[in-house]
Structure 1
Amino acid sequence: MGAYTGRDVVVNFAIADENAVPSGLTYKRLGMMRGKGMKASWDTVDTTADQSPSFTKTNLVTFKSAEFSGDGVTYTDAVFNQKELKAHVISPGAATANQPKVWFQIIYPDGSKYEGPFIVTEWSDDSPYSDAATWSISAMSNGAVNFTA
């Protein structure tokens, strides 16, 4: 397939808690995005001891975390679903125990994707005097986030 641009990456969301069954979710596209970032990282523990090979540190991984970030141009059109996600993040309802929980799918042009439950940790609006109004979002994993190649 080769190279691609970030605008070809699709971000979908479903408002649900971490116990939801992914195949039963109704995802909506988060539209008019510019930046889309996904990061997976592992915590480690040091297992180095007095007989470690060649005096070299050794480690084991303990827990994985995934972080999603994104931003876009603010549009009020319902088709872009920005207001729905923002409303849930700012004032989460009973469906997610009043927590800003969502499922994200980040789908790449080659068909690979991340999918899993997240807690939105930040929503930001920027409304400069003489430029486009924009928004940004940050979220951290809240359960198993899977990558399908």
Structure 2
Amino acid sequence: MGAHVGRDVKVEFALKDEATVPQDADYKILGMMRAKSINTSWDTVDTTADKSPNFTKTSLVTFKNVEFSGDGVSYDDEVHNQEALEAHVVSPPQDTGKQPKVWLRVTYPSGKKYTGPFIVSAWSNDSPYANEATWSISAQSNGDVVLTLPPVGP
């Protein structure tokens, strides 16, 4: 497929806890986004000891952390689903144990897809006097986030 621009990356969310795998119909598009970022990192432990090869440091990974962040222009149109997600984050319902838990699905033009449960750690609204109103979100993985690659064709 080649290169693509960020606006072609689709972000969807489902208001479910980490134990409830959403169906396709549960996902809603998070619309009017500008920036979308997903980062995967691993915690490591030092396994270096007196017999490590050639005095070289060795390590093992322990836990994976996937972080999502994004922002967009504020719209109150229901079709963009911004206010639905904001309400869930600011006042989480009993369905998710009063926790701001969501499933995110980030799909790239090639078909590459990140899917998994997240806990939203921050929601922000910015309303400058003489500029567009914007919002931003930050979330961390809250279970297994899976990267699915599109099938490779002949």
Q: TM-score range by the shorter chain?
A: over 0.9
Q: Percent identity?
A: 64
Moved over 4 A (4+): none
Correspondence for 1:44: 44
CA distance in 2: counterparts of 1:53 and 1:97, whole angstroms: 49
1:61 aligns with 2:53: no
CA distance in 1: counterparts of 2:78 and 2:67, whole angstroms: 26
Residue deviations 1:25-44, cap 9 Å, x none?
61000000000000011000
Q: Which one is further off, 22-31 or 88-97? A: 22-31
Shift of the 44–120 alpha-carbon distance from structure 1 to 2, 3 Å rule, reads: same
Question: Helix, strand or coil for the counterpart of 1:50?
Answer: coil
CA distance in 1: counterparts of 2:16 and 2:111, whole angstroms: 24
Instruction: Count matched residues.
Output: 149
Question: Helix, strand or coil for the counterpart of 1:7?
Answer: helix
- Kindly report which structure 2 residues correspond to 1:78-117, keeping only aligned pairs within 5 A, or say none: 78-117=78-117
The 8 Å contact of residues 16 and 22 in structure 2, kept in 1 or not, is answered as: no
Question: Helix, strand or coil for the counterpart of 2:76?
Answer: coil
CA distance in 1: counterparts of 2:5 and 2:76, whole angstroms: 25
Give, as a single letter, the amino acid of the residue that structure 1 aligns with 2:77.
D
CA distance in 2: counterparts of 1:24 and 1:9, whole angstroms: 17
Give, as a single letter, the amino acid of the residue that structure 1 aligns with 2:108.
Y
Correspondence for 2:5: 5
Query: What is the TM-score normalised by the length of structure 1?
Result: 0.98
CA distance in 1: counterparts of 2:4 and 2:132, whole angstroms: 26
Give, as a single letter, the amino acid of the residue that structure 2 aligns with 1:13.
F
RMSD: 0.9
Instruction: Specify every segment of 5 or more residues in structure 1 that has no aligned partner in the other structure, as ranges.
Output: none
CA distance in 1: counterparts of 2:66 and 2:110, whole angstroms: 21
CA distance in 2: counterparts of 1:121 and 1:42, whole angstroms: 19
The 8 Å contact of residues 121 and 140 in structure 2, kept in 1 or not, is answered as: yes
1:144 aligns with 2:123: no
CA distance in 2: counterparts of 1:33 and 1:21, whole angstroms: 25
1:132 aligns with 2:124: no
CA distance in 1: counterparts of 2:121 and 2:115, whole angstroms: 18
CA distance in 1: counterparts of 2:20 and 2:6, whole angstroms: 29
1:24 deviates by: 6.4
Question: Helix, strand or coil for the counterpart of 1:41?
Answer: strand
Instruction: Specify every segment of 5 or more residues in structure 2 that has no aligned partner in the other structure, as ranges.
Output: 150-154
